[in-house]
């Protein structure tokens, strides 16, 4: 969106349509002398896969600014979130920029607050492009509260991770695409008709569309994971259809 606003040319790197895997090598092949910024969401969306530092290191070694968007990092199934976040590599790679948001795991999308981590030089330059109107005092105060009480966020994300594992077990008869985020994909096998009937019956809204990178996978649905999902009536009926 911002690339379009500033009239900057950009290239989108697609998933492999057959495997639904995202190739760093493919991304690297598009990097040339005119590339000024590389952007990668990690975990990525819409699939939800996570890339390690060993996989992303070739991008960082180009010396080109690399922005890692960690919007969904809190949902990563790990014992040490700091260990898996790329923030700790900022001193090692001066061309690294890491962004985080309060919109996902923190549940504060309405606050419109995010965070950027990088070296002082990059932060100074990024500040020059800040919007004229800053975030509200209410948003700032609430996000400060969330940071001071991160244990509440941690409790919620751990509940989501455990629920995701439970849902995967209960849906063992479905074709499932797992993720390192707060959703999974599953194959309805029935042109969505029966699934839609169940969801309509329980007044659960769902958007059906042919979305890249799914290719011809029109029978696949993306389902957001929340604590207690497996106990909801629509889900019980869905897995027993």
Segment 19-61, tens digit of pLDDT: 788 899 999 999 999 999 999 999 998 889 999 999 999 999 9
Domain ranges of the chain: 2-148, 151-239
**Residue linked to tokens 């797992």:** 178
What fold is seen in the domain 151-239?
3.90.1150
Task: Supply 208's token pair.
Answer: 């059906």
Q: Considering the domain 2-148, what is its CATH architecture?
A: 3-Layer(aba) Sandwich (3.40)
- Tell me the C-alpha distance between 65 and 44, whole Å: 18
- Average pLDDT on 96-105 reads 97
Element (H, E) at 57: helix 53-60
From 118, 109, 106, select the one nearest 146 (Cα to Cα). Answer: 106
pLDDT tens digits for 104-157? 999 999 999 999 999 999 999 988 877 777 789 999 999 999 999 999 999 999
- Tell me the C-alpha distance between 236 and 241, whole Å: 9
């Amino acid at each position: 969106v911002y690339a379009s606003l500033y009239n900057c040319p950009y290239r989108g790197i697609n998933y492999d349509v057959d495997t639904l895997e995202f190739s760093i090598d493919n991304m690297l092949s598009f990097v040339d002398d005119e590339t000024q910024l590389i952007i990668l969401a990690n975990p990525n969306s819409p699939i939800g896969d996570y890339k390690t530092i060993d996989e992303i290191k070739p991008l960082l070694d180009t010396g080109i600014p690399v922005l890692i968007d960690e919007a969904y990092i809190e949902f990563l199934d790990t014992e040490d979130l700091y260990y898996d976040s790329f923030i700790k590599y900022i001193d090692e790679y001066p061309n690294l920029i890491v962004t985080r948001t309060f919109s996902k795991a923190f549940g504060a999308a309405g606050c419109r607050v995010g965070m950027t981590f990088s070296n002082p030089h990059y932060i100074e330059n990024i500040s020059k492009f800040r919007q004229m109107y800053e975030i509200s005092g209410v948003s700032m105060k609430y996000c400060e509260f969330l940071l001071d009480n991160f244990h509440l966020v941690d409790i919620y994300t751990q509940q989501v991770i455990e629920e995701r594992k439970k849902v995967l077990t209960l849906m063992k008869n479905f074709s499932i695409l797992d993720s390192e985020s707060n959703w999974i994909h599953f194959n309805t096998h029935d042109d969505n008709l029966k699934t839609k009937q169940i969801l309509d019956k329980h007044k659960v809204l769902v958007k059906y569309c042919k979305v890249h990178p799914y290719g011809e996978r029109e029978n696949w649905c993306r389902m957001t994971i929340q604590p207690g999902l497996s106990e909801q009536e629509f889900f019980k009926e869905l897995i027993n259809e």
